[in-house]
């Protein structure tokens, strides 16, 4: 397929619309102490958070851009032109869709969120720019003692749990963008699942950027207490703007003894979004943290979900699909830190590069000294669709001591022209054949997504492939 | 370390290049711990202040006598502390056929065109540009080999470099040009005459022209107190093949950089390495498989056995440039960790900008296989001996790739002897 | 005459008990066959005697000429004279058969004594001829890329070289066509003698046409339920294992 040229604009129109909204609160452009004071005042935050934000701002300004290893495209982010806080009336999310202001509600209706909620979700939070417009949890789930609320509310209403873990899995200074998030965060979810409670349906958050030149900095903290289980899904979209938009989230997961957390992301940002996200989970004894991550949109995504396996027999897993369309760079990967005996981790990453798209895998696996019986298995497969497509793989694996085992394998391939011809001979168009092949390539991973998401994923892949053959 | 006082007769161009080398060395920054090209390395190990340019070795004849390895050879050169100690020229009919094997010093004048064209023609891109500049500035010596068109040199050309005395610094260089359709085998042996700390800064430039075939093996047996750089540049032309093998048995801190460029269709580069890191040894290797042209092949296999507090770093990149279709590139690093304090770091990398390619890489780190071990125990072999046998078997899968049995036997014996010392049975 | 005696042996892997009170006396000079359906514990018995670390002996004993070998490491048991021909021999990449066998023989010599190379190769070639193996076999890595038949022949070659007191042949016939079976059996038969005891483990009677046993034991559920002469094997071939399982079923029913 090396001679087919891709068309530039990939149809991913689902999120590409925008209704005008009047913003009641706007911190203006640029980030400095005044911006932080404005955010703290509007949100009515306690002093310790104000201090936390200001310390983070210092770290953000000190830290250089990580361009010694990362894409130089980062230099195109003009931090002074970005708006750091925008909210349309009130910082308190509504509990019914009827209370949500009309112009915001119709956005989420068009994205199908209320419908999905009725069908299969245990709770939903819908964030519009800086604040959640809607947050609700099904009564039955709430009665089990499960807390699901915005982090803005949680730090005020549940400080005893929130403060214990906030910023503990990902320290402020972990990287430049975690520092940025720590300075400017607003929105995101807080979830606490009490011991032994298994939440049977997923909780969902939907992140919507509506404003141009905007930076969304949600902050999510999920704690599954001993033996608890929870699945969390996030979706995200933004309309297509001419200028860059920034999304920089921090997500911290804590799985206490025997708990299981599954975190599913379907990222479908428009092509103007810099998506620079820090995600990490802590897994205690016999606990499991699993990241299922699908990155389709954005201009540049940098995201390496991690698991620190701190307790014996803890398990970490990252399942990742990245589709880098024309002009996009999906720089994704995984980080596995083995900090206790008999911990196991698994990474499966599949990427597809279309047109001039570039998919990069970066991995870190660390099994430090004096541990026994740790295992990691990593598989990275890249599929290149066009001659101008690019893929990179940069794993770093450190194993100290005997009694541990690590295995990393990566391959690069293209869709076989024989396979395409075979399907064409059976009457499929080239694009259909290509879609089938690509779907086949990721099929084993797509099946790990909940049904509703996997259908959506297939549709998105079909749309991407339509544009890839000419 | 300071600017070199160099003995011998060197042409003007070489003296100028040496001066540029020193200027570059002083100008280029020392590697920093955060430098990606030095990730997981030990930049602290690079304090070079105490090293000096050494006087001649005490007993040249003794070192020449100890320079045994492969038995029969087509030519044999022995250097000690940067000076030529002995040379056995190739047989007359080979010389008549156009084979040139002479010291770099002699060649710099007599074959100035070829030497000037190929001597360090490519920038050291894998992190050690500063030390490449240091090499250029130093009292470089070594061998220049030109294998003329259509000549096949059956026996290996053997070169020994010795270092002697505390804090001595040596600068071995091997420059090989295999012209069209020629064939040769070159073996570099790096040895210390004592256990003293020393510094070696070695470079080899291998040029394999159209249809030619070169086998190059470097057997590094510096003292366990030595700091050494071994920087390689390999250029492989149309339908040509180069097989390069680095065998690292000695050294305290070894930094190896191997850069293979496939500059025409049908080029093939085999990059192989066998490494034993025991005690406090650190072996840090960076590789690059540069596919600039279509339909070329590169195949890398690096294998490390670690024991004691031994550490290894492997960082490799397969780079496929846009348009380099039908590239077939493979890269694999395998580590066997045999002790609790040993540490293996693996960074196999791919950068692919053409879609019709076959590129795979892999990295494995483990201990000896339990089932294999049990099988050996069940035959009455003691655990220590069984482990030794399994690790040697592990290395044999690399050594098996050597095309010449005459090479393989002696190299296998050296590896085995070192393994027995590192892993006593 | 020496004895390998299994005394009321109970063996588990994890929580699962596989051998449940198995007893057997194998003297040198005899060939005993153990037959039984899949999962009856035949292979476990062979591996436990060889000292495989996955299995735990919970009670009972294994005695080599009256001395318990349970505390012995697998390599010490092998040097004592126990040989296991594996059902699934491991591949040992990079280790040639010649080097491997030399290491195994060297391990049996007193410390400081070196194996005599000429004698070693003479013996190796003699045994290879017996098993109709080509000479270049010695330079191949142990079992690597071998066909099923080659693996089994290689096991018997090792047995011939190491001359064990007790040989345990675990499903040595599996995966062999009739020609290979004849060659392997011929090799085994040539090693029979007053100094060697053999335990032949097999699912099918077929092998016993070629390696004729002195005694046959039927193993079901981790125990020997019936012992007899070679005619017992023919009965099993004709009637299957059902009749042998019945007493067990009755016992449970009663």
Taking the C-alpha atoms of residue C20 and residue C25, their distance in angstroms, rounded to an integer, is 16
pLDDT of residue B56: 94
Mean pLDDT of A261-267: 92
Match 């038949």 to its residue by tokens. C149
Q: Which domains does chain C have, with CATH numbers?
A: 3-94+164-253 (3.40.50.300)
pLDDT of residue C254: 32
Q: Which pLDDT tens digit goes with each residue over C197-249?
A: 999 999 888 889 999 999 999 999 999 999 999 888 888 878 877 766 655 44
Mutate to test the interface with C, among B381, B388, B394, B401 (most CBs of C within 10 A): B381
φ and ψ at residue B34, rounded to 5 degrees = -85, -10
Q: Give the CA dihedral B130, B135, B139, B140, nearest 10 degrees.
A: -170
pLDDT of residue A106: 81
Q: Determine A/C contact with 3+ CB pairs under 8 A as the test.
A: no
Residue B66: is it exposed, middle or buried by C-beta count within 10 angstroms (0-12/13-18/19+)? Answer: middle
Per-residue pLDDT of chain B (425 residues; tens, 9 = 90+): 554 556 778 999 999 999 999 999 999 999 998 899 999 999 888 888 899 999 999 999 999 999 987 778 999 999 999 999 999 999 999 999 999 999 999 999 999 999 999 999 999 999 999 999 999 998 999 999 999 999 999 999 999 999 999 999 999 999 999 999 999 999 999 999 999 999 999 999 999 999 999 999 999 999 999 999 999 999 999 999 999 999 999 999 999 999 999 999 999 999 999 999 999 999 999 999 999 999 999 999 999 999 999 999 999 999 999 999 999 999 999 999 999 999 999 999 999 999 899 999 999 999 999 999 999 999 999 999 999 999 999 999 999 999 988 889 999 999 999 999 998 76
Length of chain A: 470
| Segment 289-348 of chain B within 8 Å of chain A by CB | 322-323, 325, 335, 337-348
Residues of A in contact with B323 (CB under 8 A): 387
Would you call C103 and B390 a contact, using CB atoms and an 8 Å cutoff? no
Would you call C75 and B377 a contact, using CB atoms and an 8 Å cutoff? yes
What ipTM goes with this model? 0.89
Q: What percent of chain B has pLDDT over 70?
A: 98
**Local confidence band at C251 (pLDDT 50, 70, 90 cut-offs):** very low
Q: Give the CA dihedral C14, C20, C26, C30, nearest 10 degrees.
A: -100
pLDDT of residue A48: 94
Would you call C94 and B393 a contact, using CB atoms and an 8 Å cutoff? yes
- Alpha carbon of A9: minimum distance to chain B alpha carbons (Å): 21
Q: Cβ distance A216 to A129 under 8 Å? A: yes
Q: Is the predicted pLDDT of residue A170 greater than 90, yes or no?
A: yes
**Local confidence band at A3 (pLDDT 50, 70, 90 cut-offs):** very low
Tally of CB atoms within 10 A around A56: 22
| Residues in a beta bridge with B102 | B144
- In the numeric block, which tokens belong to residue C150? 């080659």
Residue A387: is it exposed, middle or buried by C-beta count within 10 angstroms (0-12/13-18/19+)? Answer: buried
Mutate to test the interface with B, among A373, A389, A398, A469 (most CBs of B within 10 A): A398
Minimal Cα distance from B383: which residue of C? C75
Closest CA to A434 of A446, A422, A420: A420
DSSP alpha helices (H): ranges in A146-190?
151-157, 159-165, 176-184
**Local confidence band at A6 (pLDDT 50, 70, 90 cut-offs):** very low
pLDDT of residue A90: 67
Would you call A387 and B355 a contact, using CB atoms and an 8 Å cutoff? yes
Taking the C-alpha atoms of residue A274 and residue A128, their distance in angstroms, rounded to an integer, is 17
Average pLDDT, rounded, for chain C:
89
**Local confidence band at A136 (pLDDT 50, 70, 90 cut-offs):** confident
Q: Is B119 helix (H, G, I), strand (E, B) or coil?
A: coil
Residue spans per domain, chain B: 12-367
Q: Is the predicted pLDDT of residue C253 greater than 60, yes or no?
A: no
- The shortest CB-CB distance from B350 to any of A392, A397, A414 is to A392
pLDDT of residue A10: 32
Q: Is the predicted pLDDT of residue A148 greater than 60, yes or no?
A: yes
Q: Cβ distance A322 to A360 under 8 Å? A: no
Mean pLDDT of C109-132: 91
Q: Which pLDDT tens digit goes with each residue over A298-310?
A: 999 999 999 999 9
Q: What is the DSSP letter of A94?
A: B
Q: What is the DSSP letter of A319?
A: E
Q: Which helix (H) or strand (E) holds A225?
A: none
Match 């698991």 to its residue by tokens. A307
Q: Cβ distance A231 to A258 under 8 Å? A: no
Q: Determine B/C contact with 3+ CB pairs under 8 A as the test.
A: yes
CA distances from B389 to B279, B311, B332, C93, C101 (A): 20, 22, 22, 10, 11
pLDDT of residue A13: 61
Match 């009919």 to its residue by tokens. B93
Closest CA to C33 of C186, C194, C236: C236
Taking the C-alpha atoms of residue C107 and residue C101, their distance in angstroms, rounded to an integer, is 10
Q: Is the predicted pLDDT of residue A458 greater than 80, yes or no?
A: no
Would you call B396 and C100 a contact, using CB atoms and an 8 Å cutoff? no
- Alpha carbon of C97: minimum distance to chain B alpha carbons (Å): 11
Residues of C in contact with B391 (CB under 8 A): none
Would you call B395 and C79 a contact, using CB atoms and an 8 Å cutoff? no
Dihedral sign for Cα B338, B339, B340, B342, please.
negative
pLDDT of residue A88: 78
Mean pLDDT of A346-361: 95
pLDDT of residue A8: 26
Q: Per residue, what are the HEC states of chain C? A: CCEEEEEEEEEEECCEEEEEEEEEEEECCCEEEEECCCCCCHHHHHHHHHCCCCCEEEEEEEEECCEECCCCCHHHHHHHCEEEECCCCCCCCCCEHHHHHHHHHHCCCCCCCCCCHHHHHHHHHHHHHHCCCCHHHHHCECCCCCCHHHHHHHHHHHHHHHCCCEEEEECCCCCCCHHHHHHHHHHHHHCCCCCCEEEEEECCCHHHHHCCCCEEEEEECCEEEEEECCHHHHHHHHHCCHHHHHHHHHHHHC
Would you call B374 and C53 a contact, using CB atoms and an 8 Å cutoff? yes
- Alpha carbon of C85: minimum distance to chain B alpha carbons (Å): 9
Mutate to test the interface with B, among C64, C74, C76, C139 (most CBs of B within 10 A): C74
φ and ψ at residue B142, rounded to 5 degrees = 160, -155
Taking the C-alpha atoms of residue B300 and residue B266, their distance in angstroms, rounded to an integer, is 17
Using a CB–CB cutoff of 8 Å, tell me whether B400 touches chain C.
yes
**Local confidence band at A429 (pLDDT 50, 70, 90 cut-offs):** confident
Residues of C with CB under 8 A from a CB of B: 50-53, 73-76, 78-79, 83-84, 86, 89-96, 99-100, 103-104, 106-108, 141-142, 158, 162
Length of chain B: 425
Q: CA triplet C139, C143, C148: central angle to 5 degrees?
A: 125
């Amino acid at each position: 397929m090396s001679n087919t040229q891709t068309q530039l604009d990939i149809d991913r129109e689902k999120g590409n619309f925008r209704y005008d909204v009047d913003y009641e609160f706007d911190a203006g452009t640029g980030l400095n102490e005044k911006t932080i004071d404005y955010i703290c005042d509007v949100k009515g935050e306690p002093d310790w958070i104000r201090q936390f934000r200001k310390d983070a701002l210092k770290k953000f300004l000190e830290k250089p851009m990580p361009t010694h290893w990362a894409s130089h495209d980062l230099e195109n982010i003009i931090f002074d032109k970005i708006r750091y806080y925008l909210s349309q009336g009130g910082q308190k999310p509504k509990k019914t869709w009827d209370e949500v202001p009309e112009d915001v509600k119709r956005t989420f209706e068009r994205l199908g969120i209320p419908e999905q909620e009725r069908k299969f979700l245990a709770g939903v939070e819908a964030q519009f720019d800086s604040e959640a417009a809607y947050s609700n949890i099904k009564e039955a789930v709430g009665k089990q003692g499960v807390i699901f609320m915005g982090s803005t509310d949680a730090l005020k209403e549940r400080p005893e749990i929130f403060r214990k873990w906030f910023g503990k899995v990902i320290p402020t200074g972990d990287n430049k963008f975690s520092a940025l998030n720590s300075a400017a965060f607003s929105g995101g979810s807080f979830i606490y699942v009490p011991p032994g409670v298994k939440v049977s349906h997923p909780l969902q958050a939907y992140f919507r950027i509506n404003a141009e030149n905007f930076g969304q900095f949600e902050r999510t903290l999920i704690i599954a207490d001993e033996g608890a289980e929870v699945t969390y899904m996030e979706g995200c979209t933004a309309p297509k703007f001419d200028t860059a938009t920034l999304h920089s989230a921090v997500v911290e997961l804590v799985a206490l003894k025997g708990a299981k957390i599954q975190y599913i992301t379907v990222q479908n940002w428009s092509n103007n979004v810099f998506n620079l996200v820090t995600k990490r989970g802590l897994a205690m004894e016999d606990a499991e943290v699993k990241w299922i991550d699908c990155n389709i949109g954005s201009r540049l995504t940098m995201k390496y979900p991690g698991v620190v396996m701190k307790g014996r027999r803890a398990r970490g897993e990252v399942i990742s699909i990245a589709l880098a369309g024309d002009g996009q760079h999906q720089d994704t990967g995984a980080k596995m830190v083995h900090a206790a005996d008999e911990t196991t981790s698994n990474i499966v990453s599949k990427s597809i590069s279309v047109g001039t798209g570039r998919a990069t895998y970066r991995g870190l696996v660390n099994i430090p000294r004096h541990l026994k019986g740790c295992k990691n298995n990593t598989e990275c497969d890249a599929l290149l669709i066009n001659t101008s497509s690019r893929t990179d793989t940069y794993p770093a694996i450190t194993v100290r001591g005997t009694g541990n085992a690590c295995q990393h394998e990566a391959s690069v391939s293209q869709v076989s022209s024989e396979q395409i011809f075979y399907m064409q001979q059976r009457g499929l168009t080239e694009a259909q054949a290509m879609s089938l092949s690509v779907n086949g390539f990721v099929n084993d991973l797509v099946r790990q997504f909940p049904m509703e998401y996997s259908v959506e994923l297939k549709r998105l892949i079909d749309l991407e492939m339509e544009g890839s053959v000419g | 370390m300071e600017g070199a006082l160099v003995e011998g007769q060197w042409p003007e161009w070489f003296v100028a290049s040496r001066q540029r080398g020193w200027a570059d060395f002083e100008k280029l920054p020392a590697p920093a711990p955060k430098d990606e090209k030095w990730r997981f390395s030990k930049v602290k190990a690079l304090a070079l202040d105490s090293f000096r340019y050494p006087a001649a070795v005490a007993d040249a004849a003794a070192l020449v006598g100890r320079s045994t390895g492969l038995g029969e050879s087509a030519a044999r050169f022995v250097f000690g502390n940067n000076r030529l100690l002995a040379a056995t020229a190739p047989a007359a009919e080979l010389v008549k056929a156009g084979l040139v094997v002479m010291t770099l010093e002699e060649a710099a004048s007599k074959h100035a065109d070829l030497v000037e064209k190929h001597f360090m023609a490519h920038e050291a891109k894998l992190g050690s540009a500063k030390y490449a500049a240091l090499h250029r500035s130093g009292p470089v010596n070594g061998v220049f080999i030109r294998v003329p068109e259509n000549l096949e040199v059956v026996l290996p050309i053997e070169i020994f470099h010795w270092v002697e005395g505390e804090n001595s610094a040596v600068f071995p260089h091997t420059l090989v040009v295999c012209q069209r359709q020629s064939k040769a085998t070159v073996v570099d042996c790096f040895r210390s005459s004592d256990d003293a700390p020393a510094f070696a800064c070695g470079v080899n430039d291998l040029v394999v022209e159209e249809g030619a075939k070169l086998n190059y093996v470097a057997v590094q047996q510096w003292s366990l107190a030595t700091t050494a750089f071994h920087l390689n540049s390999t250029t492989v032309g149309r339908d040509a093949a180069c097989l390069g093998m680095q065998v690292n048995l000695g050294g305290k801190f070894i930094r190896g950089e191997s850069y293979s460029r496939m500059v025409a269709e049908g080029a093939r580069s085999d990059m192989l390495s066998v490494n034993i890191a025991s005690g406090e040894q650190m072996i840090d290797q960076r590789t690059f498989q540069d596919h600039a042209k279509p339909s070329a092949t590169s195949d890398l296999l690096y294998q490390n056995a670690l024991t004691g507090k031994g550490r290894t770093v492997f960082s490799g990149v397969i780079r496929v440039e846009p348009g380099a279709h039908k590239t077939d590139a493979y890269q694999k690093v395998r580590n066997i960790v045999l002790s609790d304090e040993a540490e293996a770091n693996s960074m196999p990398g791919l950068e692919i900008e053409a879609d019709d390619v076959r590129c795979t890489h892999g990295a494995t780190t483990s201990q000896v296989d339990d089932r294999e071990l049990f099988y050996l125990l069940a035959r009455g072999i003691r655990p220590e001996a069984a482990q030794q046998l399994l690790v040697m078997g592990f290395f044999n899968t690399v050594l098996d790739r050597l095309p010449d049995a005459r090479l393989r036997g002696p190299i296998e014996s050296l590896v085995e002897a070192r393994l027995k010392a590192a892993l006593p049975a | 005459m020496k004895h390998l005696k299994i005394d009321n042996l109970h063996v588990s892997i994890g929580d699962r008990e596989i051998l449940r009170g198995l007893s057997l006396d194998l003297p040198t000079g005899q060939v005993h066959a153990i037959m039984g359906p899949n999962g009856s514990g035949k292979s476990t018995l062979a591996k436990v005697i060889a000292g495989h670390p996955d299995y735990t002996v919970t009670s009972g004993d294994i005695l080599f000429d009256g001395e318990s070998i349970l505390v012995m490491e697998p390599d010490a048991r092998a040097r004592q004279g126990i040989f296991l021909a594996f059902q699934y021999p491991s591949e040992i990449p990079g280790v040639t058969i010649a080097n491997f066998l030399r290491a195994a023989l060297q391990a049996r010599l007193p410390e400081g004594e070196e194996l005599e190379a000429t004698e070693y190769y003479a013996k190796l070639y003699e045994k290879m001829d017996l098993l109709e193996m080509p000479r270049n076999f010695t330079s191949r890595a142990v079992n690597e890329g071998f066909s099923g038949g080659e693996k089994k022949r290689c096991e018997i070659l090792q047995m011939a070289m190491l001359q064990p007191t007790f040989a345990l042949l675990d499903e040595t016939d599996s995966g062999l066509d009739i020609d290979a079976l004849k060659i392997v059996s011929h090799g085994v038969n040539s090693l029979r003698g007053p100094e060697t005891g053999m335990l032949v483990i097999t699912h099918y009677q077929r092998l016993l046409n070629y390696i004729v046993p002195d005694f046959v034991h039927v193993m079901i559920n981790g125990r020997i339920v019936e012992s007899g002469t070679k005619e017992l094997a023919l009965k099993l071939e004709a009637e299957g294992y059902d009749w042998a399982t019945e007493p067990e079923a009755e016992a449970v029913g009663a």
